Amino acid sequence: MGRRLTQINADKESKNLRNHDNLRHLRSISRHILWSHTFKHITILAHELNKKRPSSPTRTYLQAC
């Protein structure tokens, strides 16, 4: 009986570790999605602002590159 309980506990422990790894992986993926999404919006916003702003020497130089 003692050995069986040990095996059940070991199974539970390995399942917990797997769940923990999966959770960490999901967190990392969601963080990546969030940042890429945010970056996309910042890029779009910067592009919009650039269109509205009158030409500056820096902008003209960057466009020429």
Mean pLDDT of 22-32: 93
- Start-to-end CA span in the chain (Å): 76
Q: What is the pTM of this model?
A: 0.49
Domain that holds residue 24: 2-64
| 37 contacts 29 by C-beta, under 8 angstroms | no
CA 60 vs. chain centroid, Å, equals 34
H helix runs in 1-65, sequence order: 2-52, 57-64
Query: How confident is residue 40, by pLDDT bands cut at 50, 70 and 90?
Result: very high
Mean pLDDT of all residues in 9-24: 90
Distance CA 10, CA 3 (A): 10
Q: How many domains does one find in the chain?
A: 1
Average pLDDT, the chain: 83
Q: How many Cβ atoms sit within 10 Å of the Cβ of residue 25?
A: 10
User: For position 26, what pLDDT does the model report?
Assistant: 92
Band of pLDDT at residue 29, cut at 50, 70 and 90: very high
